[in-house]
């Protein structure tokens, strides 16, 4: 009798676990107001206004004056980028910025795609909206939202956009692309109140896409864009037809992840680990602790007191450039720390790097962009969305030099409908900007798979 009761309890426990695991919870979020003061009475302003990036002599003269008055400080001998941005190379970057970089020309480049602003929850949200040209008869463009991170911007996607909206392969999908600036970044207005986190950004972007007339769409994200688009899939899973990511650290490691860390080196096949997985995960202490400490100092500052260091960066263009560009060195390849020039121009041009810096400088958004860390981390790591699996078809592009390596098993713990997992040939954290062709192709392959599967079920 006791054995039967015990067996019934075990079976019941297993069934309960499976039922709970299969439940599809939906993230909840209430509307907010992020404008100054209290919400204005009357109808909400739903207008969409064209926006043009501009500059003038006064802006450039102020920049040059501040650059000319910077106070250099020598780096230690043989330190390369191991102490941060090397001062000797920084001077070369600053000299190029002052003498050769043409911001007016880059402004024209920024304006080659249409920009817009619209007011959502009390703040102006900026976005780039690119519709395909000369769409063949009978072909419908697939809407795609692409969300950036820090210290990036909408400009990260500029080389990808033509590959998606005007693909050279006639068999490829033609996309209609929307690239918003996260509120507080770039040309989007900064929230005026505390509490604007990734869930709030997800809600705002859902409202943006609905305002543009999209009932369903695909979404792509890396860095902060990963969690914003993930939250979008958790808020309204029926609206996100497919979610594509290139960054997905395990937010709440479950038993399979823990077991894989403990036993994966001895039994790699059991957990689907390949040689690259083994090299990136082990030794655990060095890779998960030491490397994290080396590259996460900025995060501790921004998650606690962003306004303090932000004031210094907001006053000094050279300081701002050093703070931002150092990430484009070590987050692209951690071995670049050992190079005198940080390997910056091995993957990017100085014009592109400085354009991204100038978006931060001219908009004065460095403080508000850093506050996004404070708002997300101050609520703790045990938020509802961190424990909630995603049941939207998902594709993951696994770039070899990403800051945190996430094996397929780990991605599947969060994203239960993982359809594609692609080990990429090369690339790091800023993959869309570094390897636009690889990223665009993976988005193509993922979207084609989703569309085929949907046709098969009709």
Alpha-carbon distance of 346 to 73, in angstroms, equals 25
pLDDT digits (tens, 9 = 90+) for 131-164: 999 888 888 999 999 999 999 999 999 999 999 9
Please say if the pLDDT value at position 228 is more than 70.
Answer: yes
Model confidence at 2: pLDDT above 70: no
Residue by residue, DSSP assigns 379-415 as: T-S--HHHH--B-S-EEEEE-TB-SS---HHHHHHHB
How far apart (Å, rounded) are the C-alpha atoms in residues 122 and 204?
10
Q: Among 223, 277, 333, 442, which one carries the catalytic annotation?
A: 223
For residue 373, indicate whether it is catalytic: yes
Q: Are strands 418-423 and 394-398 parallel, antiparallel or unpaired?
A: parallel
Q: What is the mean pLDDT of the chain?
A: 91
List the domain boundaries for the chain: 51-456
Q: By the 8 A CB rule, do 426 and 435 touch?
A: yes
Active-site position among 115, 124, 429, 442: 429
Name the pTM for this structure.
0.91
Q: Which of the following is catalytic: 373, 385, 415, 442?
A: 373
**Band of pLDDT at residue 352, cut at 50, 70 and 90:** very high
The CATH architecture that domain 51-456 belongs to is: 3-Layer(aba) Sandwich (3.40)
429 classed as catalytic: yes
């Amino acid at each position: 009798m006791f054995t039967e009761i015990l067996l019934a309890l075990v079976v019941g426990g297993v069934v309960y676990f499976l039922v709970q695991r299969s439940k599809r919870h939906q993230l909840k979020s209430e509307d907010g107001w992020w404008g100054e003061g209290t919400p204005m009475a009357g109808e909400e302003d739903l207008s969409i206004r064209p926006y043009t990036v501009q500059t003038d002599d006064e802006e450039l003269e102020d920049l040059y004056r501040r650059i000319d008055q910077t106070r250099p400080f020598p780096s230690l001998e043989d330190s390369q980028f191991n102490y941060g941005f090397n001062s000797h190379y920084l001077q070369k970057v600053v000299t190029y910025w002052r003498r050769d970089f043409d911001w007016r020309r880059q402004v024209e480049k920024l304006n080659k795609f249409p920009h817009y602003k619209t007011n959502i929850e009390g703040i102006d949200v900026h976005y780039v909206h690119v519709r395909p040209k000369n769409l063949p008869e009978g072909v419908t463009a697939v809407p795609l939202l692409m969300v950036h991170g820090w210290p990036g911007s909408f400009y990260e996607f500029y080389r990808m956009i033509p590959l998606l909206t005007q693909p050279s392969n006639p068999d490829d999908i033609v996309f209609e692309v929307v690239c918003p600036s996260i509120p507080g970044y770039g040309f989007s207005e900064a929230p005026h109140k505390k509490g604007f986190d990734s869930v709030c950004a997800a809600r705002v972007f859902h409202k943006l896409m609905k305002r543009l007339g999209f009932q369903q769409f695909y979404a792509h994200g890396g860095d902060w864009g990963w969690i914003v688009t993930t939250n979008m899939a958790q808020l309204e899973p029926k609206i996100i037809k497919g979610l594509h990511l290139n960054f997905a650290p395990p937010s709440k490691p479950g038993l399979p992840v823990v077991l894989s860390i403990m036993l994966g080196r001895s039994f790699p096949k059991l957990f689907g680990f390949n040689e690259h997985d083994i090299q990136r995960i082990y030794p655990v202490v060095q890779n998960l602790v030491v490397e994290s400490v080396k590259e996460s100092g900025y995060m501790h500052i921004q998650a606690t007191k962003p306004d303090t260091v932000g004031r210094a960066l907001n006053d000094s263009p050279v300081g701002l450039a050093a703070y931002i560009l150092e990430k484009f060195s070590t987050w692209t390849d951690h071995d670049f720390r050992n190079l005198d020039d940080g390997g910056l121009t091995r993957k990017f041009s100085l014009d592109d790097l400085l354009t991204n810096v100038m978006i931060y400088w001219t908009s004065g958004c460095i403080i508000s962009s850093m506050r996004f860390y404070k708002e997300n981390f101050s609520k703790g790591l045990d938020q509802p969305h961190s424990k909630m699996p995603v049941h939207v078809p998902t594709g993951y592009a696994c770039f070899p030099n990403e800051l945190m390596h996430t094996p397929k098993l780990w991605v599947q713990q969060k994203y239960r409908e993982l359809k594609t997992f692609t080990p990429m040939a090369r690339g790091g954290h800023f993959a869309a900007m570094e390897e636009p062709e690889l990223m665009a192709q993976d988005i193509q392959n993922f979207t084609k798979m989703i569309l085929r599967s949907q046709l098969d079920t009709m």
